[in-house]
Structure 1
Amino acid sequence: MSSPRRLKIQEPIQTSTLWSTTVSIAAGRTEGTAGSTRAEVRELRDNPRASVLIIGGGINGVGTFRDLALQGVDVALVERGDYCQGASGASSHMIHGGIRYLENGEFRLVHESVVERNALMKIAPHYVKPLKTTIPIFTTFSGILSAPLRFLTHKQGKQVERGAVLIKAGLTMYDFFSRDGGNVPRHSFVGRRKALETMPDLPKNVRYAATYFDASVHNPERLTLDVLRDGQIANPSARAVNYVSAIGNDDDGVRLRDELTGETFSFQADVVVNASGAWTDITNTALGSESRFMGGTKGSHIVLDHPELLQACNGTEIFFEHTDGRIVLIYPMGDRVLVGTTDIDVDVTEQAVCTDEEIEYFFELIGHVFPDIEVTTKDIVYSFSGVRPLPRHDETQPGFVSRDYRIEKREEKLGGRDVTTLSLVGGKWTTFRALSEHLADDTLAALGSSRKTSTAGLAIGGGQGFPTDEAAERAWIRAAVRPGFDEDRVRVLLTRYGTRASDVIEYLTDGPDTVFNTTRELSTRELAYMVEHEQIGHLIDVLIRRTSLAFRGLVTEELLAELSETLAPLLGWDAEQAAAEIELAEKVLAEAHRVQVKSLTA
């Protein structure tokens, strides 16, 4: 392909260990490469035109892709890494109404959040579940005088712990927003004796415990993939591809680069939607239009394999204010315990990782709630850190920065053509459907089109017909069992795919299949299904975003070897490349997640 006459390229700043390592691997592959072998890339390259180009494959970009596809719009999406690799994959796994936003006076956001939370439990029940949440309280009247000051100034000032009266008032107001016509229980308040009866590992000086309900998403990465699949099925002309970045503009439009091969090509669109999260300003600069919209903060988490702490939680999330004023959480996820989160101003050009200081902070807060439970670094099986896509906030303290969103519209010249660009600033997991609807409506308006259908109440992928209780789940599993599939295997597939597991099972029974030696949660043919339907670019994609094996600390050297051996013929890897994929996986796990892969025989 000849070079464009007016090529304007700004290299994307390398802010991800995986992404930057991918570039170095790709550089070794491009010699003699005529073009990408990926069908998704070929479709973009050979038909380099769409009404809408979305840049960013997190939940908000993917949600907007689905919405526009449902309207019949010719839409394309590119993501420079893997889907849900950025902030969307580094969340606290909560789908919450945002009780703390009441203190910021963000009543619109709280209302939208609880409406969307309640809706997601209905349209995505395979991933979004009710979450019982408990707040341990140590004082009665503390914080009453300082709360108005925080509300008015959005500054912490001298830290004063919130007492029972203030928390009771907040939860009463939250009930008003949150109850979904009575489907969500009211909050409850108990004194010290009952609190310790329910959770005996709480400190003896606890005075009250308040309990309310929110929701959690146990596998945000797979929910993102499910939303993406909905869009692809709804509109076969809708195209999405991962590991493709927007690097500049030229006479023919936006310049794209396949990060797996190094190949570059141009792409035209009438509307460009910038949904690249904390990197929105960097993307705009690469496209030739600088902006100063963003000011993200880092949030880190650790995952613990700690049966005593798991038991102490008693099936409920512990949500409380630490002595420094940060809101923190401890809650069980399966047989692991998730602890988070920090809220630290950060430079988005640097790799976000969970630091030693943050881990010490997490241990301190665990000791604050469960003083008799000892936790050490040996209990950590995984850690992760992401940059929230918050607006620029100058002197406002991170905890008071709005979690609401806005859309910045500009009329640009890209490739010598008039193009509307829409930059998403902010956004959170809970409100992704409503946000996507808003962003899609603005896109439709720019195209001179109108909405044909709403996503409100529309089931997401494997959430359609998902069993609503344990008895129904057991019945679904028994009905889905096939020769060679026991109930445990079907249960894993139902958890991973929702009711789309029936399609996966049909695919698995359509050819030879072998369950791995290193984990009974995966098989050779399921990997083939993932390659065919879920755009796997790297081995690490399987461990972090197609399964929860890394999150639960189940990655071993033997598993990496087995995965690499199976993926190699499916993705056209030679022996050298297969070995490089193992090295890449080990590097990402070590540098971004503090995981040292060990051998089963060690």
Structure 2
Amino acid sequence: MTGAAPHAGRDHGLVDIAIIGGGINGAGIARDAAGRGLKVLLCEKGDLAEGTSSRSGKLVHGGLRYLEYYEFRLVREALIEREVLLASAPHIIWPMRFVLPHSPEQRPAWLVRSGLFLYDHLGGRKHLPSSRGLDLTHAPEGAPLRSEFRRGFEYSDCWVDDARLVILNLVDAAHNGAIILPRTRALRARREAGVWHLEMQGDDGGTLIVRARALVNAAGPWVQDVVQSVAGLNSSHNVRLVKGSHLVVPKFWSGPQAYLLQNADRRVIFVNPYERDLALIGTTDISYDGGVEDVAIDEGEIAYLLGVLRRYFRAPPDEREIVHSFSGVRPLYDDNTENPSAVTRDYVFEVHGAEGVPPLLSIFGGKITTYRRLAEHALQRLEPWFPQMSPSWTAGPKLPGGDIGSDFDAFIVELAREYPDLPRKLVHHYARLYGTRARELLGPARVSADLGRHFGGDFYEREAAFLREKEWARAPADFLDRRTKHGLHLTAAQRDAFARLI
């Protein structure tokens, strides 16, 4: 497994499943299918997780607000999955408590209480603490809030490093034999002699060919383009593109808690601790009809998010304090709902194929929390073409690096004991991103000087080599923004210096 570009003209022969799209859905299907003994190839036109799957709100959650849209099945499935994922990757997924200041103008207290009761019990919660009411005039969680917010609620959900979740699924898929081809664009596919012939192009301009018994279209915002332009078929489903933008600012409150803020337009905004001393604020949920590659936050969205903060907090940040911002386009299944926030986060499959005709399975919608179940359901839909494949298996095994035990803090202590001469902050960084794979990364290194060139912050040459060799990183943003968040902690000069070395 390397980050090297594919060779021009390479023929990958015959695989069982070829997947177009290297986001969370494609990665989850690749892992599941490869672990069932199927031969898998995945191609992605950009970097892995470059689109929607690295531009989310970084949450594994049931979707509390979806209850008021009566999405009970989706919320139940997501709450169950929240526990499964927390157990599978505790180094990149961890519990977080959310404070919801009560705003009676938006939702009455009885409705919030009822929703939280359902949220506590709908998914068979096992590990996370239940919700509770808060007197914000005395509770420390109320200290940063304006005095008019006297009552609130607190509940549990989970944080996730979204881009790393994609990568770990693909690392596991590759471990089970899958071929992973980032920066490899699907050009055209045709059925011939009972299989799909998929032609791809690497970023070196070379052509790659694979024959596949089934084709999976996990292209996210480009799902319809793949159906029509690559496969030459017609689709009866549509995607609804919804833009979500986020701000990163210095953390402006004390404590580990996050906040969920209700706005006058019934949208909700998350304010979460991020990267030690920063905060992540979002999202905006607005309809989008521009080019997916061109998505970016606009001044109206910045004003909207900062306005919500001013309504709730005593000393909110202003525009001058914005450290970073990002936007993503969510390819939701178009259920003809007028309000973008109310569009279903559920997923729908479309299958073109029949007995003796190789299938194209296309995925419309979905959310990061339910990606593993989506993968199971996708393979169920493909079972008529693969009756001998092994049963589902991903609910139990850990994702790579996730075998740290039940206590992350205890794992930190253990790793620090093994590497006593490395700075504790650096050990924490390796433990958080790589779990038990940190030992593979560090190898014989014992002091900082063993880690090679220092690029700034906690970023050293040894980690960069690991990301290149084991996780397909090639461009500066792969290293600094997706595989890690080192870019937030480097100066512009340090980022530029690293980019010149790549």
CA contact (8 A) 1:513 1:523 kept: no
2:197 corresponds in structure 1 to 253
Distance 1:198 1:241 in 2: 46
1:136 corresponds in structure 2 to 101
Q: Which runs of 5+ in 2 are unaligned?
A: none
Residue 331 in structure 1 maps to residue 272 in structure 2: yes
**Equivalent residue letter for 1:189:** G
Residue 419 in structure 1 maps to residue 358 in structure 2: yes
2:471 corresponds in structure 1 to 534
CA contact (8 A) 1:516 1:562 kept: no
Deviation (angstroms), 1:180: 2.0
2:234 corresponds in structure 1 to 290
CA contact (8 A) 1:190 1:209 kept: yes
Residue 216 in structure 1 maps to residue 159 in structure 2: yes
Aligned runs of 1:389-408 on 2, under 5 Å? Answer: 389-408=331-350
1:217-247 CA-to-partner distances (Å, cap 9, x unmatched) read 1x221221111111111x23x2111001112
Deviation (angstroms), 1:486: 4.2
Aligned runs of 1:468-483 on 2, under 5 Å? Answer: 468-481=407-420
Change (3 A) 1:544 1:167: same
Query: Of the candidates 477, 491, 495, which is equivalent to residue 559 of structure 1?
Result: 495
Aligned runs of 1:24-103 on 2, under 5 Å? Answer: 41-42=6-7, 45-103=10-68
Change (3 A) 1:464 1:102: same
**Equivalent residue letter for 1:397:** N
2:181 corresponds in structure 1 to 241
1:587 corresponds in structure 2 to none
Change (3 A) 1:501 1:517: closer
**Equivalent residue letter for 1:205:** E
CA contact (8 A) 2:91 2:404 kept: no
1:346 corresponds in structure 2 to 288
Deviation (angstroms), 1:380: 1.1
**Equivalent residue letter for 2:128:** V
Q: Which runs of 5+ in 1 are unaligned?
A: 1-36, 140-159, 568-602
Change (3 A) 1:208 1:341: same
CA contact (8 A) 1:179 1:186 kept: no
Change (3 A) 1:440 1:395: closer
Residue 200 in structure 1 maps to residue 200 in structure 2: no
2:435 corresponds in structure 1 to 498
Distance 2:432 2:403 in 1: 13
Distance 1:100 1:242 in 2: 35
CA contact (8 A) 2:476 2:498 kept: no
Q: How many residues are treated as equivalent by the alignment?
A: 493
Distance 2:241 2:444 in 1: 42
Deviation (angstroms), 1:63: 0.7
Deviation (angstroms), 1:50: 1.1
From the two aligned structures, give the one with the greater helix fraction.
1
Change (3 A) 1:448 1:41: farther
**Equivalent residue letter for 1:51:** D
Query: Of the candidates 542, 546, 557, which is equivalent to residue 483 of structure 2?
Result: 546
Distance 2:411 2:249 in 1: 31
1:202-231 CA-to-partner distances (Å, cap 9, x unmatched) read 1211131101111111x2212211111111
Change (3 A) 1:192 1:546: closer
Secondary structure of 2:260's match? strand
2:117 corresponds in structure 1 to 172
- Percent identity of paired positions between Structure 1 and Structure 2: 31
Secondary structure of 1:389's match? strand
Secondary structure of 1:410's match? strand
**Normalising by the residue count of structure 1, what TM-score does the alignment of the two structures yield?**
0.77
Deviation (angstroms), 1:515: 4.1
Deviation (angstroms), 1:503: 0.9
Deviation (angstroms), 1:518: 3.9
Distance 1:172 1:106 in 2: 15
Distance 1:289 1:327 in 2: 38
CA contact (8 A) 2:95 2:128 kept: no
1:368 corresponds in structure 2 to 311
1:447 corresponds in structure 2 to 386
Deviation (angstroms), 1:458: 1.3
1:578 corresponds in structure 2 to none
Change (3 A) 1:208 1:284: same
Deviation (angstroms), 1:262: 1.7
Deviation (angstroms), 1:194: 3.0
Deviation (angstroms), 1:43: 10
1:230 corresponds in structure 2 to 172
Secondary structure of 1:246's match? strand
Deviation (angstroms), 1:387: 0.9
Change (3 A) 1:487 1:131: closer
Higher deviation after alignment, 418-427 or 127-136: 418-427
CA contact (8 A) 2:331 2:365 kept: yes
Higher deviation after alignment, 98-107 or 127-136: 98-107
Distance 2:89 2:371 in 1: 13
Distance 2:371 2:184 in 1: 23
Distance 2:3 2:137 in 1: 62
2:326 corresponds in structure 1 to 384
Residue 191 in structure 1 maps to residue 135 in structure 2: yes
Change (3 A) 1:493 1:73: same
Distance 1:263 1:42 in 2: 7
Deviation (angstroms), 1:564: 2.7
1:165-211 CA-to-partner distances (Å, cap 9, x unmatched) read 11111111212214524x3322111335334x532221211131101
Distance 1:491 1:201 in 2: 28
Distance 1:106 1:513 in 2: 52
1:516-552 CA-to-partner distances (Å, cap 9, x unmatched) read 44414222232222211111231221111121023x3
2:249 corresponds in structure 1 to 304
Distance 1:399 1:490 in 2: 40
Secondary structure of 1:388's match? strand
Deviation (angstroms), 1:40: 6.4
**Equivalent residue letter for 2:201:** R
1:437 corresponds in structure 2 to 376
Secondary structure of 2:56's match? coil
CA contact (8 A) 2:32 2:173 kept: yes
Distance 1:79 1:214 in 2: 30
CA contact (8 A) 2:9 2:209 kept: no
Report the RMSD for the aligned CA atoms in angstroms.
Answer: 2.5
Distance 2:444 2:415 in 1: 18
